[in-house]
Chains A and B, each alone.
Chain A
Amino acid sequence: MIEIKELHKSYAMGQNSLHVLKGINFSVQEGEMVAIMGSSGSGKSTLLNILGMLDGADLGTYTLDNNPIKDLDETKAAIYRNKFLGFVFQSFNLISYKTALENVMLPLYYQKVNRKERQIRAQKYLDDVGLGPWASHHPNELSGGQKQRVAIARALVSEPKVLLADEPTGALDTKTSYELMDVLQSINDQGITLLIVTHEEDIANMCKRIVHLRDGVIVEDKKVKQVKASRYVE
């Protein structure tokens, strides 16, 4: 599903350049649930952004679902993002003046799906994350956990192959975090590939595989026995 080889990325910091990713080799099969761990500055978010085509790499190759991702202009990147990828951010990034339903409908708008169908499909995904009754609420009327679930519904509505989550539980308390992980695990059970950036051990242990980054290189890549989040959710 995802295949990257010898990935390098550096940022210019004034006169100096900061070498963030120093040759990453990494692949993900369909249906995997991978946690990317590392301390801050290890390059984990940069890696996720490159995987999400939100940022470009300096060197190396990246193949997504057998499509080489290379020299993309913004328009092509936008189309790929819309077709293959869903995003969940730490700070939710919902559009504040749109209701939960309208937020979830938006990716379909850019796929030029007609309005009736947008509404039906968005409502279905809101129901899936347990927020059906909150469809007409604005983000500021929802709790953090609810907002993140709206964001997940929005990421899923375009039926992506891969869901990328950047610290999805970073702004949530433990209980809400586990509830959210329960939602993510059930999504993974439906066959969607998940990549989750986190620095919390317990969240990482709820994935099927953990990749450790330190100073721009992968230091550990291991399969783990998945802890089911439903154990902690009544």
Chain B
Amino acid sequence: MSRLIEEITARGVRMGLPITVHMDVTYRCNERCDHCYLDHEDHGEMTTAEIKRVLDQLAAAGTFFLVFSGGEVFMRQDFFEILEYARRLQFDVNVKTNAVMIREAEARRLRALGVRRFQVSIYSHDAAVHDGITRLPGSLQRSLRAMRLLKDHGMYVTLANVLMRQNMHDYAGTQRLAREMGIDFALDPTITPMLDGSTAPLTMRIPVERLQEVYQDASLGPLGGDACGSDAEDVQGNASCSAGHASCYISPYGDLYPCVQFPMPCGNLRQQSFQEIWGGSPQLTELRSIRVRDLPSCSSCGNVGSCSRCPGLAYMEGNMRGPSTADCEKSYARTGHASVNLLARMNSAATTANPKLVQIQV
């Protein structure tokens, strides 16, 4: 994140403005990725008019960075109409997509609309691995072709490589592919539970020992999600991240949450205006009151200064003031020091009858 973007986000936190909003316009998708946290059904998506009304409210509230995602955004036949409306409201628009539906005409139109950046999920440079995860034959070839088109038309493209057991040996080759294409590469080992609470995807998280190897690979740079952490020496007075402070997430059904990774319902945009929820939600008010010093386990942890603790993942573990075990594992992989939470879990596991449970993993 550039210094100016950090400053704008900090200004948003200070002023209580929703500088960044992530809006999923659909959960429908043409891929069926193994690790996906969505159900791919349409349970009553917002209409075009409803989304435009929300965009009007976001512009009035001060939102600058707008991320459209899904599901697959191009599954909506009105997506270009939504994009055009968002650009007329002068949002900085980023799109997360698998890109398989983008051809020359779409790339040209996206450029004309002034969409600035795309993030495309690629799981491996090996088609068998990538297509195996997406369960869409030919998807790697189609995604890569679209990424080249977007780049050729002058748009910024990031190859997002989510790391899981199925592809954990491929990231170096995938990074090389991104370099050859002249695009950014972002690796993220974060696998989250499904939005319905199912923890089935968590079995795909890579083992801690493999995570350590990844974190010690100097060629990768900062890993995805780690931008949420802080390098400040004294973090006790800080909030955990910008979720709910200067950013939020809106589902295809108009539900507002602090973040896509933080499924704490704060209100619905079909029943209330954005400003009513942003300014008056008791859940957001409570979240904004929490400082690192208030976290019963994490505030005394030696890794607190560099931890990327995600309050949303902690919420999914049962307590937004508690630790996020996935981030404890990342901290352990990065620093070699077990967190207070991991030590407690290890001690707890050591007292059980089954020694096989003594592992640092979920």
Binding between chains A and B: no
Task: Report B's interface with A, CB cutoff 8 A.
Answer: none
Task: Report A's interface with B, CB cutoff 8 A.
Answer: none
